Amino acid sequence: MKINLNFALIIFISFGMLSCKEPAAGSQPEQIAELGEKQDVVRVVDSEEFSSRINAVGDVQLIDVRTPEEVAEGTIAGAINFDFRADDFTEKLKVLDKDKAVYVFCRSGGRSANAAAIMKELGFSEIYDLEGGITAWKADGKETVK
């Protein structure tokens, strides 16, 4: 009986050791890394970084997600208005290049965060969300146009 108990213990330990080996290539660690990359698609940046990025790019995809009435009060030069609250908001996003950076803002950051989440779901690869929206942009002395 003692031999059978020792044999069972050896089998149990062997299976335990086998289950602790490194996972096969293409399994969980890569999936976790891929998930981490997808989570980094949206970056919330302050007005200084937002400004320097849109000025460095040239042909920028700059999206103001406020209502047309809000945009009429002033926006960032070069911005296109895609009203987040409009029924066709998601449809309008289809004209953008998903492989190019998209810069998005609203009044204070709430709608642009929601818009960025939708863009991420649609497969956009790089999204910059203006922290604090145009309110922070103006408070930091940045220029707007009507």
* Amino acid at position 145, single letter: V
Q: Is 106 marked active-site? A: yes
Length of the chain measured in residues: 146
C-alpha 12/C-alpha 33 separation (Å) is 32
Set 42, 106, 130, 136: catalytic member: 106
Identify residue 63 by its one-letter amino acid code: I
**Residue ranges in 26-99 assigned as alpha helix (H):** 28-39, 47-57, 68-72, 89-93
Q: Which amino acid is at 79?
A: A
Q: How many angstroms separate the CA atoms of 32 and 113, rounded?
A: 24
Annotated catalytic residues are 106
